[in-house]
Structure 1
């Protein structure tokens, strides 16, 4: 009995934190199972992301001043960066798809940044969200490739610069790597966001221990700074990979 009591006392007084609970999906109203039509915390934070983007690009630039304010400057910098990225990677043929790519970039970067707020939720930490975006990119560029090039789009898988005997083997490799694109495209973003937030939660949990709390607070501060950088970099990587895939669809020849 004494041993059991001691174990229970130790369990109650011990440090307990669960870094993965922050990624759980909950209904916004009431409790119960989550269906496809149920408003959840993911729904809320995706809606807030859209509102934040609209506020920046519509309200922040409404004056169109010659000397821009800080909001107009941020909007213009984002617009110019993505526009140049699309033009440099895909050529001028790809500029007609700039609005779609700009939307992807803004949604990802705002989701990542808003997810760093206290008590916030990061939609891009879920493979269900990033998977839909990656699959949409995959289907879009594939359709564009066939519409623009017809059967010549299949030349993407036939490496003409390689020796003839190696071309069938390389074609199989190219086909496999092509269909793996949406998997790697989505997992990279979701995995990085989930890992960073989990590490922050772990360091925050150690702040309850007085002996290491100063180190824990310093680690959390450093991780927050790193997560801001990672959040932007992951949005940039997702966007530039989209541009690379679009370039392959527009110009499939090796």
Structure 2
């Protein structure tokens, strides 16, 4: 009888998200070990800097393929800033573009086999969203002073329902940091889990042999289609995260 447990590829689909300490470091009682997550995050940042530097160094009047791709990402981010923030958003463009680049590289690097998807962990996405959220609120408070708190009270609200409206607006305002982080985390985790399951199914059919070797073409085609879809989702989620950041920033600047 064929022993399915002997297939090494059939590990848990969630095993790919395990954070593994590579260089244990403890400082003042705090665990600041270098993990696979931090390694790939650092690699994503360095790759972003490297590609940007390479495009600038090899800059041409008639752009090549790599320069055109980089300019496309640049124009996409610039369009987001102009459409959602207007000309006042140019001041925040480096901040917005950095967010888009880091998330995009983290998502795409996670598509490489045996790599690690940093954005598949809620700890990272929530930490990033919280840092952005705090920064945006600081910007809003500096721009409007004490009037910034009127963001919780829309104009024209009857006096007798003011407490209820303020409570609802406050909760909905706080929830933003959760929605933006969970959206990215959930999409990347679910997509990579599905890919792992389908890939494991293909490997099982190949290992069993016989007629299953020919039948495995069906899930294999599905797997290739899902890889293409997951790359599209990686691009889309970087775009959506950046778009929501622009919208939230515009809200505190315009006091909608």
Please say whether Structure 1 and Structure 2 have the same fold, judged by a TM-score greater than 0.5.
yes
Q: Are residue 172 (structure 1) and residue 175 (structure 2) matched?
A: no
Alignment-derived partner of residue 137 in structure 1: 132
Q: Secondary structure at the match of 1:60?
A: helix
Equivalent-residue separation in structure 1 for 2:42 and 2:176 (angstroms): 27
Shift of 1:28: 2.2
Aligned to 1:243: 246
State the shift of 1:39 in Å.
1.2
- The alpha-carbon deviation at position 64 of structure 1 amounts to 2.1
Q: How far has the Cα of 1:186 moved from its partner?
A: 0.8
> TM-score normalised to the size of structure 2?
0.88
After superposition, what is the alpha-carbon deviation per residue over 1:152-189, rounded to whole angstroms, capped at 9, x for unaligned? 11121111144444443222111001111111111110
- Which residue, 18, 22, 25 being the options, matches 1:24? 18
* Structure 1, unaligned runs of 5 or more: 1-5
| Contact 1:61 1:75 (C-alpha < 8 Å) held by counterparts | no
Residue 204 (str. 1) matches residue 207 (str. 2): no
Partner of 2:78: 83
Residue 11 of structure 1 and its aligned partner are, at CA, apart by 6.8
Q: Which runs of 5+ in 2 are unaligned?
A: 25-29, 207-211
Distance 1:12 1:125, change over 3 A: closer
CA RMSD in angstroms comes to 2.1
Report if the CA contact (8 A) 1:61-1:71 is conserved.
no
- Is 2:215 aligned against 1:215? no
3-state secondary structure, aligned to 1:59: helix
Alignment of 1:187-198 (within 5 A): 187-198=182-193
Q: 2: distance between equivalents of 1:13 and 1:68?
A: 51
CA-to-partner distance for each residue in 1:35-66, whole Å, 9 max, x for gaps?
63211111211122112211221112313211
> Which TM-score applies when normalising by structure 1?
0.89
Query: Does the 8 Å contact 1:56/1:72 carry over to 2?
Result: no
Question: Equivalent residue for 1:231?
Answer: 234
Q: Is 1:107 aligned with 2:102?
A: yes
In structure 1, what is the Cα distance between the partners aligned to 2:254 and 2:178? 23
Cα separation, 1, equivalents of 2:144 and 2:4:
65
Q: Distance in 2 between matches of 1:77 and 1:11?
A: 47
Partner of 2:27: none
Between 60-69 and 112-121, report the one with greater CA deviation.
Answer: 60-69
Equivalent residues, number: 243
Of the structure 1 ranges 157-166 and 52-61, higher mean CA displacement relative to structure 2 is found in 157-166
User: Could you say if the C-alpha distance between residues 29 and 216 of structure 1 is closer, same or farther in structure 2, counting changes exceeding 3 Å?
Assistant: farther
Q: Which moved more, 1:208-217 or 1:112-121?
A: 208-217
- Distance, in Å, in 1 between the alignment partners of 2:71 and 2:147 is 38
Greater shift, 78-87 or 204-213, is seen at 204-213
- Whole-Å separation in 2 of the counterparts to 1:55 and 1:11: 44
Contact 1:45 1:121 survives alignment (8 Å): yes
Separation (CA, whole Å) in 2 of partners of 1:217 and 1:163 = 61
Deviation at 1:13, TM superposition (A): 5.9
